[in-house]
Structure 1
């Protein structure tokens, strides 16, 4: 993945976490992401830095989704 694509993905995940933060029952753990100090607008940061931020954001969002899932979803298509 190119750096520009990674920055775009970083921005999209940041928007997802921002939207979730507006929900009352959303408790995403973004401590790891916040500790990195890298934002989608930090274009001067390295590709590796943005990759770490993407993984931290994705991990926080998926952990929240996993914990909030109350019933299993069938793996079959409609």
Structure 2
């Protein structure tokens, strides 16, 4: 994957995180992501830095969704 594509993916994941937090009211645990200090707008950072940020952000989002998924779902049909 090219650096430009990683930066684009990074931006999309940041939007997914924001949308998820707004819709659910839950906060995604993104301490690892914040520690990296790489934002989607940090175009001067290396491809490796953006790759690490994408993985950290994705882990934070999916782990929050796994917690939500673990809650029992009603068997009633819509």
Q: Same fold (TM over 0.5)?
A: yes
Query: Offset at 1:23?
Result: 3.4
**Distance (Å, rounded) in 1 between the aligned partners of 2:25 and 2:39:** 24
**Distance (Å, rounded) in 2 between the aligned partners of 1:60 and 1:10:** 13
What number of residue pairs does the alignment pair up?
72
**Residues 43-74 of structure 1: CA deviation (Å, up to 9, x unaligned):** 000000000000000000000011100358xx
**Could you list the runs of 4 or more consecutive aligned residues of structure 1 that deviate by over 6 angstroms after TM superposition?**
none
Query: Offset at 1:24?
Result: 4.8
Query: Offset at 1:25?
Result: 3.6
Structure number having the greater helix percentage: 2
Query: Offset at 1:27?
Result: 2.7
C-alpha RMSD of matched pairs (Å): 1.6
Query: Offset at 1:18?
Result: 1.1
TM-score using structure 2 length: 0.83
Mapping for residues 63-74 of structure 1, pairs under 5 Å: 63-69=63-69, 70=71
**Distance (Å, rounded) in 2 between the aligned partners of 1:33 and 1:20:** 16
